[in-house]
Amino acid sequence: MLFPKIDVDNLVQINDMFRICGIGSFFTADETLQEIKIYPNYVVDPLITFSISADCPDDYYLDWAYDTAGDYEVRIELVADSGTTGMSQTVTAVTVEEDNLQADDQCIYAYESELKKYQPSGRNSYKYIHRKALEEILDYLYRNCKLNKDGTKITKDQLISKDIVKWATFEAMLLIYQDIKTSNAEAFNEKIEYYLDKRGEARNRYIIEIDSDRDGAITDKDNPTYTRINYFTR
């Protein structure tokens, strides 16, 4: 039997490299695998396919990028003497504006240029980390009851202004160091502690402009959101 497995980001930014990985694919001993095929845009353009030798299981991947926004069906197929078995997954590519990341790699490198060499294989940026950092920021606001007027969670498209760059930068750097610390635990733990403090200072200083009525602009109708959490005791 053939068991294709695909690991890929669900969301990517256009022109940003990501990896379509099928290394987890496997097959039973009664099969003779001929090749593995990877389709980056299976439905719209199935003729664009990359064949990889079955003799190189560590090479069952394709590094790719999309130049236009949209939904793409990524597919991996295992081709054997007995037939072909495939697995597909949808990847959504968005524009820079739609992604609305609050920081970029240059923000990181301004503090730690060494992080350039720790970019994982199949990546040419840390945009995937910046995206996770933004999720952490929005989750922090939600957990601390920083909500829209109607009580709903603030979403990334409502962050019109670029006034949380430092917070987003330090949030991303923490995620990176937490990911790579096993290679130099002592030194990186010090970095983590340092940027935890910097992140805490950054996120407690902002008055964020939120498009709370979702009209696409910041107006007098939008109340500012304070990121500092106040505790009251008797």
DSSP output for 115-156 = GGGGPPTT-SSSHHHHHHHHHHHHHHHHHTT-B-TTSPBP-G
Fold classification of 2-94 (topology level) = Immunoglobulin-like (2.60.40)
The pLDDT of residue 197: 87
- Residue 127 or residue 182, greater confidence: 127
Coil, strand or helix at 97: helix
| The amino acid at 110 | A
How far apart are alpha carbons 69 and 157 in whole angstroms?
A: 16
Classify residue 32 as exposed, middle or buried by CB count within 10 Å of its CB (0-12, 13-18, 19+).
exposed
Q: In this structure, are residues 136 and 129 in contact, taking their beta carbons and an 8 Å threshold?
A: no
Who's near 13: CB < 8 A, 6+ residues apart? 93, 94, 95, 96, 99, 101, 127
Place of tokens 């304070």: 226
The neighbouring-strand residues paired with 18 are 64
Who's near 224: CB < 8 A, 6+ residues apart? 207, 208, 209, 210
How far apart are alpha carbons 198 and 203 in whole angstroms?
A: 9
Name the least confident of 5-9, 51-55, 138-142, 159-163.
Answer: 159-163
pLDDT for 9 beyond 90: yes
Name the least confident of 51-65, 90-104, 215-229.
Answer: 215-229
pLDDT tens-digit profile of 170-218?
A: 999 999 998 887 656 677 888 888 888 888 888 776 667 777 667 777 6
Q: Are strands 11-13 and 83-94 parallel, antiparallel or unpaired?
A: parallel
pLDDT tens-digit profile of 110-126?
A: 999 999 999 999 999 99
225 band by pLDDT with thresholds 50, 70 and 90: low
Is the pTM here over 0.75, yes or no? yes
232 band by pLDDT with thresholds 50, 70 and 90: very low
